[in-house]
Amino acid sequence: MKNASLKQLSTALAAKQVSSVELTQSYLDRIAQLNPKLNAFITLNPEMSLAQARAADARIAAGNADALTGIPFAQKDIFCAKGWLTTCGSKMLHNFVSPYDAHVILQFNNAGAVNLGKTNMDEFAMGSSNETSHYGAVKNPWDTARVPGGSSGGTAAAVAARLCAAATGTDTGGSIRQPAALCGISGLKPTYGVVSRYGMIAFASSLDQAGPMARSAEDLALMLNVMAGFDERDSTSLQRDKEDYTRDLNKPLTGLRIGLPKEFFAEGLDGDVAKAVEEAIAEYKKLGATIVPISLPNSKLSVPVYYVLAPAEASSNLSRFDGVRYGYRAPQYDDLADMYEKSRAQGFGAEVKRRIMIGTYVLSHGYYDAYYLQAQKIRRLIAQDFTEAYKQCDVIMGPTSPSTAFKLGEKGDDPVQMYLSDIYTIAVNLAGLPGMSIPCGFGANNMPVGLQIIGNYFDEARMLNVAHQFQLATDWHSRAPQL
């Protein structure tokens, strides 16, 4: 059953071909076998998972099952889950057991899904390689000497290695799409505000967005049906009518206009990635789409803008971690100020400290106007570029990442090179648009390549249709690493 889609699992559960308890136990067994090699999971609680599975079996027997009832999912360790250790990949929260459920967790619980465990991640979602986690680096299932991408690297590795049916991730500057590309799975970042951020530990509040990660676009649509929806506890949650994201999956693509930004195919893109993406575009032409050359002139500024705005918001959000109410507290200190200083110095890792310092600097008196305010103005220009582009096309396509998965430790000494891993994804977050990555081939060293699809605001259903039709015509999404 490990290669079954969510729809196939749902059908099998409804037909009593397998029970949720059997399915959950099979995944727990596989995690026990492979997680020591991959380090994809931080926390497991088989008792809680199997209790949810028994409840799901009872619900199925009573005829009250939903589409995802009884299916085991993994949850990124950025989502608070009641009774579960919730660490955000940090020593700072190494002992924090959440007293409540995040909105996303609650939505899965209400659907009758099973929580298999919490997946590893870059500390406080800050990273592009899943090497900044306090719990150690995650390994790419296609080559364990390489990174899985980040910050949702644990989720991407778990889905690719078939350690779960599907899983959740979060995307602040590409942290769903980039690891999805590097691990050969599908991942979707919805329009900002479509999925509630309540109970999702904040990194950069104006950029963070939760989304699904799975093997196929059809699976993403089924998950988004559960995850999306208004939540009054989140002031940025959008009050919109509920959508069925599976509704357009089977529409033909005849007449679809695909915009190809010249900036996405310029210097810095590896040749093997460009080749796989170009072959995917050719497949779309066969499916009836037309290609429209477009330009996103300000996209080259997205990385510097992001690394002003995101650290500024992180500096503010992470000020709450001070050793007073919860989380790590230094064992020895002289007074309150000393406790703050030592708790934060010992509790945060190097990358988190770097971003807090950058963020505090750009928000400080005398630098706010020069850096933060200027970055916000350019952010508006980046969003306007997309608005103009969508007057000419329906979706935008290009590479998700400039390269395939790089080796562990390869970019650790050069933060700028690491930051450039997200050069094609960051602009989407700055504009608040939906974006996704789907597998479209393999590059050097037989590592997966991701195709990025960017839609207009609230155009997730069309994006999922575009991805699904490609996946009906190709089999890249069904390829699995040999473990």
337-343 mean pLDDT: 96
Beta pairing class for 257-261 and 186-189 = unpaired
- Residue 465 lies inside a defined structural domain of this protein: no
Across all residues in the chain, what is the average pLDDT? 96
Q: Is residue 372 part of a domain?
A: yes
**Is 218 within a domain?**
yes
pLDDT tens column, 149-206? 999 999 999 999 999 999 999 999 999 999 999 999 999 999 999 999 999 999 999 9
CATH number at residue 160: 3.90.1300.10
- Name which of 186, 174, 183, 176 is nearest 146 in CA terms: 183
Share of the chain above pLDDT 70, in %: 100
Determine the Cα–Cα distance for residues 367 and 195; give it in Å rounded to an integer: 33
pLDDT band of residue 232 (cuts 50, 70, 90) is: very high
Last residue of a domain, one of 354, 377, 400: 377
pLDDT of residue 288: 97
Does residue 240 sit in the same domain as residue 305?
Answer: no
Write out the catalytic residue numbers: 76, 151, 175
Regarding whether 220 and 320 lie in a shared domain, the answer is: no
Cα–Cα distance, 172 to 16 (Å, whole number): 40
Q: Is 412 domain-assigned?
A: no
Rounded to an integer, the average pLDDT of 387-407 is 97
CB atoms within 10 A of CB 439: 29
Per-residue pLDDT for 418 more than 90?
no
Look at the pTM and tell me if it is higher than 0.95.
yes
Q: For 231-240, 335-344, 371-380, 414-423, which range has the lowest pLDDT when averaged over its residues? A: 414-423
Is the domain of 165 the same as that of 314? Answer: no
Using DSSP's 3-state secondary structure scheme, residue 368 falls into helix
Full domain range(s) for residue 306:
301-377
Enumerate the β-bridge partners of residue 187. Answer: 213, 437
Higher pLDDT, 369 or 440: 440
Residue 91 is given by DSSP the state: G
Same domain, 105 and 219: yes
Provide the pLDDT for residue 397.
Answer: 98
Is 295 within a domain?
Answer: no
316 in the same domain as 232: no
What's the rounded mean pLDDT across residues 333-357? Answer: 96
Same domain, yes or no: 58 and 157: yes
pLDDT of residue 18: 97
Sheet containing strand 72-76, strands side by side: 41-44, 114-119, 72-76, 166-171, 209-214, 186-189, 435-442, 448-455, 395-399, 257-261, 290-294
Question: Any idea what DSSP says for residue 297?
Answer: T
Looking at 250, 273, 291, which one is the last position of a domain? 250
Residue 416 has pLDDT above 80, yes or no: no
Are both 223 and 308 inside the same structural domain? no
Give me the DSSP letters along 176-240. THHHHHHHT-EEEEPPTTSS--TTBPPS-TTT-EEEEEESSHHHHHHHHHHH-S--TTSTT----
Give the residue-averaged pLDDT of 287-311: 96
For residue 307, the surrounding DSSP H or E stretch is helix 302-317
Q: Does residue 112 form part of some domain?
A: yes
Is the domain of 181 the same as that of 111? yes
pLDDT of 417 reads 82
Altogether, the residues listed in the chain come to a count of 483
pLDDT in tens, 9-51: 999 999 999 999 999 999 999 999 999 999 999 999 999 999 9
Residue 420 has a pLDDT of 83
In a domain, 315, yes or no: yes
Could you read off the pLDDT of 245-276 as tens digits, one per residue? 999 999 999 999 999 999 999 989 999 999 99
Determine what percent of the chain falls in helix, strand and coil, rounding each to the nearest 5. Answer: 45, 15, 40
Residues 181 and 62 in one domain: yes
Report the distance separating Cα 452 and Cα 435, nearest Å: 7
Q: Tell me: do 131 and 59 sit in the same domain.
A: yes
Q: Which helix (H) or strand (E) holds 308?
A: helix 302-317
Q: Rounded to an integer, what is the distance from CA 190 to the centroid of its chain?
A: 10
Task: Provide the pLDDT for residue 285.
Answer: 98
Total number of domains in the chain: 2
**Residue entry with tokens 């959740």:** 168
At which of 332, 350, 377 does a domain end? 377
Say yes or no to pLDDT of 57 above 90. Answer: yes
DSSP string, 50-82: HHHHHHHHHHHHTT---TTTT-EEEEETTB--T
- Angstrom distance (rounded) from CA 451 to CA 470: 11
pLDDT score at 297: 96
Do 156 and 37 have their domain in common? yes
Q: How far apart, in whole angstroms, are the C-alpha atoms of residue 356 and residue 89? A: 16
User: Is 395 a domain residue?
Assistant: no
**Does 323 lie in the same domain as 228?**
no
